[in-house]
Structure 1
């Protein structure tokens, strides 16, 4: 069976727990779907050209369609609400205007052959049956939804810059540092919902090259004030410039013609020094442009851009083609500007989405009109509930040993951790000179940290660990080994922790520390930014205390057992899995993906162990999952003394078309692992996918009564009606408190359930688990086992690459055999916390 047309667990009921609120959501209802059929045609255009050119060709061909307004996906698929007049197959020739060019200035053929063939008739009545829950999804339904998505994208594709399902507009664009500008984008997608089809509209922003003259772009890329500041470009700047401008599309206006090109590189010499041969004579670029075009260069000291066929063009005569995305990584300043642009409060985001409705202008769209359906201009309003906050337990000796957090936040004041670890053998590695970090300053910080940890319930008999200054630029492994030896010699016992003081937030040093200590030495580490040495704040030290206590085997807090009956009534293991893939554009380089699975190993679902595997890049299933699950089931048994009778498995990072293949992988692996341990061992299984990369957002209607301090929906908001699947068991949960901007809920979708969850039991358990995250005193946005799995994946990337973590080739060609394995000394602790 095709993975995309499988049916999963049906919704057992609607949740009732919690108090009701009304929220707006960024969906717009399709109020009318009157047409019974859509006609699907396959189109082949000869010779082959780009999707942009394809659209222009089909637009010219519309004259042959006898008034039928067909919509086109830019590649092969055309959809129409009435059949074309020429039958099921037809060939025609389309003549394009003489000046038609591609995007780099090469003339295109004038005459194209278009081959049209009817593929299918899509029965839209079946979609209505699906929306009403009367039939499973089918290829006909999927094709119909695809046709509707092509319909709503067709006209905007001709009017805006389009990337995937997002259209970008320069209205209200904002300059970024370094010659870039951020454009507002509008995502739109048709989604089936209970008894309705809806359009999901969301915002997206991305960086584009600044339009205008190329020379001004160069000034901004290099951080100069004026063009005159460029009179002497250093080789380092030239290299930076060439990297940034490579493949950029430009246009040049010479005399009465306009030409478009793509930059391949820069010359090593200036325009006045770069020569080429004309009629057997050598001539420089500056002289050539003056003698040929009568144009004297103002800036002959600048290099030239090189375009096709080794053609040299002075930078000052070039202009940047508008609407080109900047595909490279943004620097810190650009990222800060981007965040400022995108971080809109809920009310402003609502207004911007409504502006997108005006820009997309569905009501004036002649294609939508001919297809005969109408779209509401108002956001959908739906019922939501705010789940009750769980009660947290700390040590009985605390002034507040049990309490209910407010707004998803709390702190350690008046609380002692539920189980305090003992820290006896440790040392401090200071990556910086004694001049930058004097011994007295480090000792003051350690004193405050130790006091905070002891007040919080940890036992630290060794209050004065040895301190060693280390070179942050190199020899890190040897330095850490020396610190480890000093810790052991000082305490006369095996070291438990190395406290590392870092001079910056850069990843290479951090990555190397984790690689060495996790996979070479086998000791827990706690990294701290050097700036905190100079002002040891109690709140910061309390946050560090939480991490240290967990890494040494302690327990910070736990949820009232009566509020998690699924876990506490019978032995139950909670698992979470995540896979991280190579960066976009690198899937063909041989780089590998990293998979991690975490599992609870105590009756309170607080402590988790982890397993890691390296596998083929871009693969969503986890190869060695049965063996991983076997390892984790053994760990649970060794810790609890009982086999888990129930398994609740959460998995992140997969899309809807991967649901079936991943479900089969997980269920098969669990059954195989259990069978290998005991032929009769068959725990009941529930498998849930959690997604964060979606475009559903919620906005409280009455922000004073129902919103939090940022204007978002409060922690605990759950939605399981109106904008969910027509009949499968899914829900949206906003479990975390908002910091700024708009909160993104997690989307949970149940794909397999032998444990008989109803809506309330699974929603409440999932929300309560979000208060069980060890690293902070706040509810988190996704269930901890998945959060931990993501942390483990990130840590594993450091294990593979260390100080070369940012090198694009570091992970190339690696396999599980070459992976640096975490030392056994750490496996029974949450070293990744």
Structure 2
């Protein structure tokens, strides 16, 4: 008989804050709310008709407030741009009222006689006020997080953002300003913005988290210039000859729904939204005049406005039914966000734009405070709010660096990393795999990559692998050439056969040499290797193959070794007693979703589970599931798979489960915890009715805006960031739940982002020090590199597995059925995803 699903009514309370490590102080991008009103906040529902976008809603609302001060009791309520309005006191009309608002068109031409737009605003009092006393009790750890507390925090977010939202483009809690921009490719530019959010903290006070933000906007100005940039800076001379079919399609997709103004009539400009492009150029696009006669667009503009088209062979933009404008007579309106996925080059430029070292980032955040101008904000003053202009200084600790162990025969088999980094010199992997049956598959011809160059690379790779502790009896694997435009599946099968025939043994590995970082070829290699043939593949770039360096070969060796079942390194069992004392499985979980706008492809859920007492080897479990659904639908069966594999590998079922869950927002904590804890329990019970290991469930978040800034220069790494092992579990953390921030990695570029760990459920009795130290130590045994990583490896691997799962799916035809390949049994127990 199954146990009933149990209800979790409260998340884990924080034990005593940690004491392990060296104490320091750091600054953080939190700003204290020094004063708040104590009386209740009145909450109203707002309905604006006709329905318009939030940006226009704010303008309509501001006009309504301006025109109806008496009816509003001379207060200035705040508005979230959608539905919610908050007032510092009850308004005179009590329950409900309706108002008419007139709004003149922005940039309306002087000569235009178009009447103002009319709107109707209905304001209705909600059932209850926001009782701030409940929020104060929660902050003092005397009350729980109620719906009322959530509404109070939401109201604070609206209060601090209302004024800025009426001035600048806003996306959720961020606003963007054209003051600091950088061009991207394809007619886009990056705008710097600022994120702000009200956060309850352990200090018993509210704080405002302020950070830099950035997103892509269309470049404003001449539309013809934008078209030129979309087509990779096509010259005007080339544009004069018109667009090819593919160019026409590319431009139309990117500019559809873009807002423009015409520019062919001085002082009388109108706004439009682009619905598409005409299939024919302006010189051949016909429309019917008022008198019933037909005329082409080019002739019409020549006759009516004495404007001769410079680009008569470009199509026109369609702005309404049978209303066409030549591209050259249109200007793109500023401040329009680009909503599609950026390409690789645009992402790279965006990363360059957003990457600032801690000192620069801290200074820019302070500059943002000048734009926000909390002290001069009349809305904050109305609600009795004051916010400090100084970054908060908090207590932190630097946890001790763990000792990493390699094979005892290494010249240096114990290593203590410095600043989170070490190298493989004089070290041999803890357990070296044997590679006997393998081949090299080269996706370049003899001219671009001659045979002797490949042979030299293989020699260097084999020597490095042998020096690093792998055993490679077959030093001369067969080399197979593949046609880039050919059938990748057939090429891999050919390489598989050659490997097996040469070694007279089951093939273990195919090394694929790629001409560039083309994601399509890489994805097809992984799909075929892992779901069709059942062989591990290792991709390398042709550049490093031409000039092989020992460091590169060593990094490739680390990946090869674990794909073949080896173990690279481990941490002394005495430093991870939770794992080494009793059979324990670590499980990392993640769900990845298709890109925005893609509603056909599924989401993928993945688990990675540790398979030994050193937590150095992992197995994977994957499922495709309902698109954009965050809860893992088949979690019970996925956990059962990993528990079975653990038993088959170790000979015992785990006594304890430590489950690290990625990708959950705070609003989803309760739902995910309730569903997923019951699924984990169900998995255990399905194996044996009396089997009940103790479970700890920890959420790991990286998508947050908390940053740390060193105060003492001696407490920084080479990048100017806080040292690896910096942990903060007081001051800015939850008022009473068990959470902490851990910056476990060394910075490379920009400002490091700490991981936020939040314990939702704990049957294992962790205290602050034990969980923080364990999580930090684990970050040193990520198999792909010799540096501490930014979050615990089980979660990192789960993330890699979901990305790999996406490569395993394919569309049978354009718009056809999507099939999902299953990883072959022989690979499921090794780290094929490394």
Q: Verify same fold: TM over 0.5.
A: yes
Q: How much has 1:106 moved relative to structure 2?
A: 10
Q: 1:580 to 1:333 in 2, by over 3 A?
A: closer
Q: Does 1:696 align with 2:706?
A: yes
Of 47, 50, 53, 1:50 maps to 53
1:421 aligns with 2:433: yes
Query: 1:770 touches 1:782 (CA, 8 Å); kept in 2?
Result: yes
The residue correspondences of 1:295-334 to structure 2 (distance < 5 A) are 295-334=307-346
Matches of 2:53 and 2:833 in 1, distance apart?
47
Cα distance change, pair 224–122 in 1 and its aligned pair in 2 (3 A): closer
Give 1:447's aligned residue.
459
- 1:714 maps onto 2:717 in alignment: no
For residues 99 and 22 of structure 1, do their structure 2 counterparts lie closer, same or farther at Cα, with a shift above 3 Å needed? Answer: closer
The 2-side partners of 1:373 and 1:18 are apart by 37
**Partner Cα distance (1:583, 1:99) in 2:** 34
Which of 233, 241, 248 does residue 232 from structure 1 map onto? 241
Distance 1:695 1:4, change over 3 A: farther
For 1:256 and 1:740, how far apart are their aligned partners in 2?
A: 49
- CA RMSD between the two structures: 2.2
Name the SS for the 1:432 alignment partner.
coil
Residue of structure 1 in register with 2:382 after alignment: 370
Q: 1:31 to 1:264 in 2, by over 3 A?
A: same
* Secondary structure of residue in 2 paired with 1:258: coil
Aligned equivalent of 1:612: 622
Render the CA deviation track for 1:162-207: whole Å, top value 9, x for unaligned. Answer: 1111100010212223322111111111011121101111111111
CA contact (8 A) 1:633 1:643 kept: yes
Task: Give a deviation string over 1:587-607, Cα, whole Å, max 9, x none.
Answer: xx3421111111111111111
Residue in structure 1 matched with residue 604 of structure 2 by the alignment: 594
Q: What does the per-residue CA deviation read over 1:799-831, in whole Å, with 9 as the maximum and x for residues that have no partner?
A: 112xx69x9957x6x5xxx53211111122111
Which of 12, 24, 27 aligns to 1:24? It is 27
Residues 331-480 of structure 1 aligned to structure 2 (within 5 Å)? 331-480=343-492
Q: CA deviation at 1:673?
A: 1.7
Q: Distance in 1 between matches of 2:415 and 2:364?
A: 40
Would you say 1:146 and 2:157 are equivalent positions?
no
Preserved contact between residue 550 and residue 830 of structure 1 (Cα < 8 Å): yes
The answer to whether the 8 Å contact 1:636/1:643 transfers is yes
Determine whether 1:8 maps to 2:3.
Answer: no
Please state if 1:535 is matched with 2:547. Answer: yes
Q: 1:652 to 1:41 in 2, by over 3 A?
A: same
Query: 3-state DSSP class of the match of 1:120?
Result: coil
| 8 A contact 1:4–1:656 mirrored in 2 | no
1:200 equivalent in structure 2: 209
Secondary structure of the residue aligned to 1:65 is coil
After superposition, the C-alpha distances for 1:522-557 in whole angstroms (9 at most, x for unaligned) are 111111111111111000000011111111111111
- Counterpart among 286, 292, 301 of residue 275 in structure 1: 286
Contact conserved, 2:27 with 2:394, CA < 8 A, in 1? yes
Of 17, 39, 42, the residue aligned with 1:39 is 42
SS at the partner of 2:321? helix
Other-structure match for 1:82: 89
Displacement, 1:98? 7.7
- Deviation digits for residues 125-181 of structure 1, max 9, x if unmatched? 111111110111101111111111111111111111111111000102122233221
1:725 is displaced (CA, Å) by 0.6
Mapped partners of 1:79, 1:432: distance in 2: 64
Distance (whole Å) between structure 1 residues aligned to residue 283 and residue 528 of structure 2: 53
Q: Which moved further from structure 2: 234-243 or 622-631?
A: 234-243
Equivalent runs, 1:144-223 vs 2, <5 Å: 144-194=152-202, 195-223=204-232
Contact 2:86 / 2:155 at 8 angstroms: preserved in 1? yes
Report if the CA contact (8 A) 1:89-1:118 is conserved: no
Determine the C-alpha separation between the residues in 1 that align with 2:498 and 2:405: 38
> How high is the TM-score relative to the length of structure 2?
0.95
Please give the residue correspondences for 1:60-79 in structure 2 after superposition, counting only pairs within 5 Å.
60-62=63-65, 63=68, 64-79=71-86
Mapped contact 1:591–1:809 kept (Cα < 8 A): no
2:697 alignment partner, one of 664, 669, 687: 687
Deviations 1:295-344 (A, max 9, x none): 33343343321211121111222111110112233334333322221111
Q: Which residue of 2 is the match for residue 628 of structure 1?
A: 638
Instruction: Identify the residue that residue 766 of structure 1 maps to in structure 2.
Output: 775
Deviation at 1:46, TM superposition (A): 3.4
Tell me the secondary structure at the aligned position of residue 130 of structure 1. helix
The residue number in structure 2 matching 1:247 is: 257
Choose the corresponding residue for 1:117, options 125, 139, 157: 125
**Secondary structure, counterpart of 1:756 in structure 2:** coil
Q: How does 1:719-798 map to 2 (within 5 A)?
A: 719-798=728-807
Task: Check the 8 A contact 1:4/1:658 in 2, yes or no.
Answer: no
Pairwise CA distance, 1:620: 1.4
Give per-residue Cα distances to partners, 1:485-514, cap 9 Å, x unaligned: 111111111111111111111111111111
Q: Answer with 107-116 or 713-722: which moved more.
A: 107-116
Query: Is 2:104–2:115's contact at 8 Å kept on the other side of the alignment?
Result: no
2:833 paired residue number? 832
Q: 3-state DSSP class of the match of 2:806?
A: helix
Contact 1:582 1:618 (C-alpha < 8 Å) held by counterparts:
yes
Tell me the secondary structure at the aligned position of residue 500 of structure 1.
Answer: strand
Is the CA contact 1:5–1:137 (under 8 Å) kept in the aligned structure 2?
Answer: no
Structure 1 regions of 5+ residues with no counterpart? Answer: none
